[in-house]
Structure 1
Amino acid sequence: MTKTWTGWGAGADQPQQHYLVEPRHLGGGGDLRFVAEYLRASGWKDISRTGGPIVFDSPDRTVRVGFDPTAMPDGWTISGQAVGQQPAWHATFTTAVPVEIVAGFTDTLTKPRSAHAPNVWAPLEENGWETSQVKEHFTAVSPDRNAWLQFHQDAPGQAHWWAGARTEHGRSWDAVFTPTTPMHLIQGFSAALSDPTPLLRPRGSVPGTKWIRTTSVSVRPSELGSWQQARITAARAATWARNSWAANRPRQHTPAAGPYTAAGTTKTRR
C-alpha cells in the first residue's frame, strides 16, 4: 500500500472529508465565522456577549449586524440607521441561508460604494436566472427553479424585496429587505445568491435533500485554515488602505451627498 507523505505534523493535519454542494442556495447555513470574522477584520466592533447572540456594529455605529437563532424570525438581522437622506432600513435572513450568501450582503457593507448605479438583476441574469416582469412586480428564478428573488410594489410606498429557497421538504429559507434597503447591498446579495460556485461543507453538515449534487473531496485543516485566513487578510488590507487614504487626504469642503436610489424604483432594472 502506498502512503502519501503529508509533511511534518501530519498527525494533526490529516485530510478530512468534505463535500462540494450545489446549487449553493441549498447548501445549508454553514460556519457563522465566515461572516463574523470578516466583519471583525474590517474594523467592526464585536459587542457579542458570551453565550449570547452575535452582534457587530459598524465603525460609524450606523449599522448593526446580529445573529440570534432564538429570535423571531431566527437568524440574521441587519439594520441601518437613517443617515442624511438615506432612510432607516432593515434586512433579515433565516438560519438556513448559506453564510456565503449572507456575506454577499454583509461584505458589501464594509466596502465603498461603486460610482456605478447598482443593478440587482444583472448578476442574476448573467448567471442564468430567468427574470420576468408583471406591472411593478419583478421576479428572478434560479435555473433549478428552487430559489427566487422578488420585488413587489403594490402602491407607492408599499413595496418589499423577498428571496427564498425550497427543497422537497418545503421552504428552506427566507430573506426579506425593506424597500429602503440600499440597492448596492441587495446587489451584493443577488451576486452571491446566483454565484454558480459550489459551497464547501464538512461531513455531517450537508442538508438532507435529494435536490442537491455533492462531490466528495479531502481537505486538510491547514488548507481550510489558509483559505479562511486569505479572506481575513484581504479584509484587513482593504480596511488599512481605506483608513490610510482617509487619514492622508487633504481636508476640503465636500458637498452633501445625493440620496440613495430607492430600492423600490424600477429604473435600476436594465
Structure 2
Amino acid sequence: MPSRCRSSEGPPPVPYEPDDDHFREYHVTPRYLAGSGGTGDAGFEPVAHWPHHYPDDGPCQLLVTSPDHRIRIGWFGDDYDLWKITAAEDAVSTPRWVATFNQNMPPEIVAGFTRALADDWSEGNDDFLRPTSPHWSESVRSPATSDWTLSTPDRSTVELTAPDELAGLALDRSFSAPSEEPWVLWAGPPGWGTRAEATFTARTPTHLIAASAAALADPAPVVRTRGMINRRIEHLVRLAPVAPETASAPRAPTPLDVRRTAVSAALRRASRGQGSACANAARIRTTTAQTGYAAPEQTAAVLPCFS
C-alpha cells in the first residue's frame, strides 16, 4: 500500500521575488478549489482560546482540546489527512465520532466545523454528542446548499451536488459499523493534489456536517498566492488580485501583531525536528481578509494526540 504521508522530495523551491506572480495574492473563488495554502490558522481560529498542546513524538504537530478534553482537534502538518477531530463522552472514553480533513481541504472550510463544535461546547448542551440517524436527513442542507442537486445514484447512496458539479456531499447508507465513514464531503477533480475531501464516521452529528458543507458552499473568496493554486485546476477558479495596502508611516505593533508573532514561533517549535521539509506547513499565516488566528500560551502538560 503506498504511503499516505507527503513526500519530502519534489521540485526545488521557487526563489522569492516580490514582483513574481507566483507570490502575488489573489481572492480565489470558488473557495473549495483554493487548497489548504499550507496553513491551519483559519481552522483553529474558532478555538483559539482552548488549551494548546505540542506533542514531542508522532505525526501530530499541534493538538487543541476543549477545556474538559472531550473534544480533540489534531493538526498533522506532514500527513495526507491534515486534520483529525474527535469527541467523546469524557476525557478518557473512546471517541464517539471522528472527522478527518485531507491536505487539499481549505482551512476556512474546516473552520465551519470547528466553529459549530465550539458553539455546542460553550452552550453546554452536548449537541456535539447528539445521536444521529443512519438515514439521509434534510438537516445536512443549509441556505448555502439550497441550490445543490439531490440525487440517488443507487439504492445505498444519496448525494448533494453543487451546480458546477465540482463539489458535493455523499452518504453511503450501506455501512454496518459506527466506526465506518459513510459521509464524504468533497471538492475538486479526482487526484492526490486536486481532490479536497472530508470524511465523517457514522455517529457524527449531522448539524456539524451541515456546517462544513455550508462553509464549503460559502461564495466568499479566500486569499491565496498564485503559487498555492494547483496548476491542474487553475482553469476552474476565478482569481481577483488583492489590492496592495496603501503605504503609511510605520506604527507600533498591536497586541494582535504580538500574538501572531507568538503563534508563528510556537508552530515553528512544533515542526522543529520532524526531519521533513514539509513540516514547515505548520507555520501560521493569515489566509483571509478577516482577523487572524491567535493561539494562547502553550500549556505545560503534553497529552498524547489521540488514543
Q: Which residue of 1 aligns with 2:173?
A: 153
Number of matched residues?
Answer: 211
Which of 78, 89, 99 is the equivalent residue of 2:85?
78
Shift of the 227–19 alpha-carbon distance from structure 1 to 2, 3 Å rule, reads closer
Name 1:247's counterpart in structure 2: none
CA–CA separation in structure 2 for the residues paired with 1:216 and 1:49: 38
Instruction: Report the TM-score when normalising by structure 2.
Output: 0.59
Asked whether the equivalents of residues 125 and 131 of structure 1 are also in contact (C-alpha less than 8 Å), the reply is no
Distance 1:213 1:56, change over 3 A: same
Corresponding residue number in structure 2 for 1:179: 202
Q: Is the 8 A contact 1:35 1:99 kept in 2?
A: yes
The answer on whether the counterparts of 1:151 and 1:160 sit within 8 Å (CA) in structure 2 is yes
Which letter maps to 1:216? P
CA shift at 1:207, angstroms? 2.9
Q: Which has the larger radius of gyration?
A: 1
Q: Does the 8 Å CA contact 1:139/1:149 hold for their aligned counterparts?
A: yes
Q: Which ranges in structure 1 are unaligned for 5 or more consecutive residues?
A: 1-15, 237-270
* Distance change in 2, residues 1:68/1:159 (3 Å): closer
Aligned to 2:186: 164
- Report the equivalent of 2:10: none
Q: Which residue of 1 aligns with 2:119?
A: 111
Would you say the 8 A contact 2:50–2:64 is kept in 1?
Answer: yes
Deviation for aligned residue 1:232: 5.9
Q: Structure 1 residues 76 and 226 mapped into 2: Cα distance closer, same or farther (>3 Å)?
A: closer
For structure 2, the residue ranges without an aligned partner over 5 or more in a row are 1-22, 128-136, 249-285, 297-307
In structure 1, the residue corresponding to 2:228 is in which secondary structure? coil
1:48 aligns with 2:70: no
**Contact between 2:42 and 2:287, CA under 8 Å: does it hold in 1?**
no
Q: Name the counterpart of 2:260.
A: none
- Is the contact between residue 124 and residue 140 of structure 1 (CA under 8 Å) also seen in structure 2? no
- Once residues 95 and 41 of structure 2 are traced to their aligned partners in structure 1, the CA distance between those partners, rounded to angstroms, is 29
> Which residue is 2:67 aligned to?
59
Misfit runs of 4+, over 6 Å: none
Query: 1:46 corresponds to which letter in structure 2?
Result: H
Q: Deviations over 1:101-122 (max 9, x none)?
A: 111101111103799x981123
Of all paired residues, the percent bearing the same amino acid is 30
| Contact 2:44-2:111 within 8 A present in 1 as well | no
- Distance in 1, matches of 2:148 and 2:101, equals 21
1:27–1:151 distance in 2 versus 1, CA, 3 Å:
same
Which one-letter code corresponds to 1:206 in the other structure? I
2 CA distance for matches of 1:70 and 1:226?
23
